[in-house]
Amino acid sequence: MDYWLIMILLVSTWVMYVTWLAARLRRLHARVDAASRALDAALVRRALGVAELAVTQPIALGSRAGATELAAHGALCALAEDREGAESELTRAVQDVLEFRALQSGALDPSELESRFTEVLAQNRSVETARALYNDAVRDTCALRRRRHVRTLRLAVHRRRPTYFDIDATLTTALPQSSTTATPAAGPRS
């Protein structure tokens, strides 16, 4: 009699565990979908901001304005399989503009230009954050999909395996500091 009770207890515990795994897998896939939508929105905002910068400040960007606008439109119009390359190209174009801006002195309207650059940099930071959140969700989902029970019971068979989104979104050049900000004086060293 006790043998059957132990078997029922073990089977019900296993069924509860498998049910929990299936629910967790469903939640992780929903998290990947939400993170993908957030990443897409951040990428579109960045591309629109860069395109607006290239269109409104062509003199300040010099010869790089056309290439920057082209990279922004390429990122906006890229197909899913070409998106990573187009977004990395946009990052390189923004990096090139920032390096050019750091070397250039005197723009036509420095306050508006600096605010647009600051806006583009903020949009780029949001892309970096959204990409990190998306890739974290993909990592967690793939880790759960590799578990033996999930593979054996084919709990993930109805959902496509998520893929990482690898782009180079890091900008290494910051905005040049305006001449009105004072640099702190170096104090004595001990």
Contact (CB, 8 A) for 128 and 169? yes
Lowest pLDDT segment from 31-40, 53-62, 82-91? 53-62
Residue 174 has pLDDT above 90, yes or no: no
The conformational region for residue 136 under phi > 0 = left, psi -120 to 50 = alpha, else beta, is alpha
Contact (CB, 8 A) for 143 and 124? no
Q: What is the mean pLDDT of residues 123-141?
A: 96
Cβ atoms < 10 Å from Cβ of 4 = 8
Higher pLDDT among residues 119 and 107, named by residue: 119
Closest CA to 35 of 165, 143, 147: 165
Q: Tell me the one-letter amino acid at 160.
A: R
pLDDT of residue 104: 66
Higher pLDDT among residues 59 and 146, named by residue: 146
What tokens does 39 get? 């990443």
Q: Pseudo-torsion of CA 45, 51, 52, 55, nearest 10°?
A: 180
Listed by start position, the domains of the chain span 2-152
pLDDT of residue 190: 40
Residue that has been written with the tokens 């300040």 in this structure: 60
Q: What DSSP letter does each residue of 99-124 carry, written as one string?
A: HHHHH----SSHHHHHHHHHHHHHHH
Q: Model's pTM, two decimal places?
A: 0.81
Burial bucket for residue 170 (CB in 10 Å: 0-12, 13-18, 19+): exposed
Distance CA 129, CA 117 (A): 18
